[in-house]
Amino acid sequence: MDTGTLIVVIVIAVAVLALIAVLARSARSRRHEQRRVEAGEQREQARISGARADRQQAEAEERAARARAEMAQAEEQAALAGREQRTADERHAEANRIDPDADADDDTTRREDALRRNGTATDEPARTTRDDR
């Protein structure tokens, strides 16, 4: 091989290597851009999911607050009903005490009814324990 041919082969080899390097750089650049786009899409999906989770959390907290308010209102109504019932029972007792025609059995029955409403008396017989036997 003469020198001219050798130089042409070397120039062609260098040109091919340069072309391969340019193509490799271009392919790497396309891959990076594709990954950037994919990462952007994933970030957008994450943002949407995060917003949805925030909204669901806020709704859950709002429902819990409403439930607490309802519970407080129910407890208040129960307390009010209990006070009104005690007042009514006291008035019945006072009326029976001052009424000369009041029957003692009516008074006993009313007292037992009041105890049952308050949860302090039951129709069940007393239960025995091992110590009672």
pLDDT digits (tens, 9 = 90+) for 43-101: 999 999 999 999 999 999 999 999 999 999 999 999 999 999 999 999 999 998 898 88
- In a domain, residue 59? The reply is yes
Instruction: Say if pTM beats, i.e. exceeds, 0.75.
Output: no
For a pLDDT cut of 90, what percent of the chain falls above it?
69
| 3-class SS string, the chain | CCHHHHHHHHHHHHHHHHHHHHHHHHHHHHHHHHHHHHHHHHHHHHHHHHHHHHHHHHHHHHHHHHHHHHHHHHHHHHHHHHHHHHHHHHHHHHHHHHCCCCCHHHHHHHHHHHHHHCCCCCCCCCCCCHHHC
Structural domain including 80 reads: 34-99
As a whole number, mean pLDDT of residues 27-37 equals 97
- In a domain, residue 81? The reply is yes
pLDDT score of 109: 62
- In a domain, residue 26? The reply is no
- In a domain, residue 77? The reply is yes
Q: Is the pLDDT of residue 107 over 60?
A: no
As a whole number, mean pLDDT of residues 22-38 equals 97
| pLDDT-wise least confident of 25-39, 57-71, 113-127 | 113-127
- In a domain, residue 4? The reply is no
- In a domain, residue 10? The reply is no
- In a domain, residue 62? The reply is yes
Domain count, the chain: 1
| pLDDT-wise least confident of 69-73, 74-78, 106-110, 129-133 | 129-133
The pLDDT-based confidence of 18 (bands split at 50, 70, 90) is very high
Which tokens hold the place of 122? 């039951």
- In a domain, residue 83? The reply is yes
As a whole number, mean pLDDT of residues 7-15 equals 96
Cα angle, residue 69 at apex, residues 63 and 75 outer, rounded to 5°: 135
